[in-house]
């Protein structure tokens, strides 16, 4: 299958695991967000902010917490060829 890469939209999201000793902070997401259940705080990185800036902002918006000293743990991606969209979660 040939893809016109100029038409592909890339969306970058963050997910921030907040730990306190042996506990992890999770947020219950409603079904209308597409990811029902419990997830770590995070969301879309807005242009032109960096991934770290986006993670800090999203955690503040969703929890009221101010985080710092973030440690990068990995990347996951989801490709939706029907919509020409690639989602990347850092």
pTM tops 0.85 = no
37 strand-pairing partners: 29
13-61 confidence digits (pLDDT tens) = 899 999 999 999 999 887 766 667 898 999 999 999 999 999 999 999 9
Band of pLDDT at residue 66, cut at 50, 70 and 90 = very high
Query: What are the sequence ranges of the domains in the chain?
Result: 5-89
Top CATH class, 5-89? alpha beta
Band of pLDDT at residue 3, cut at 50, 70 and 90 = low
Which residues, at least 6 apart from 84, have a Cβ–Cβ distance to it below 8 Å? 3, 7, 8, 9
The SS3 call for residue 77 is strand
The CA distance from 23 to 36, in Å, is 21
Band of pLDDT at residue 88, cut at 50, 70 and 90 = confident
């Amino acid at each position: 299958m040939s893809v016109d890469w100029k038409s592909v939209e890339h969306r970058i999201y963050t997910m921030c695991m907040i730990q306190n000793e042996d506990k992890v902070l999770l947020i219950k997401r409603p079904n209308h967000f597409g990811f029902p259940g419990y997830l770590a705080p995070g969301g879309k990185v807005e242009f032109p902010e960096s991934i770290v800036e986006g993670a800090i902002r999203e955690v503040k918006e969703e929890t009221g917490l101010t985080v710092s000293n973030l440690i990068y743990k990995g990347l996951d991606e989801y490709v939706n060829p029907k919509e020409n969209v690639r989602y990347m979660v850092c």
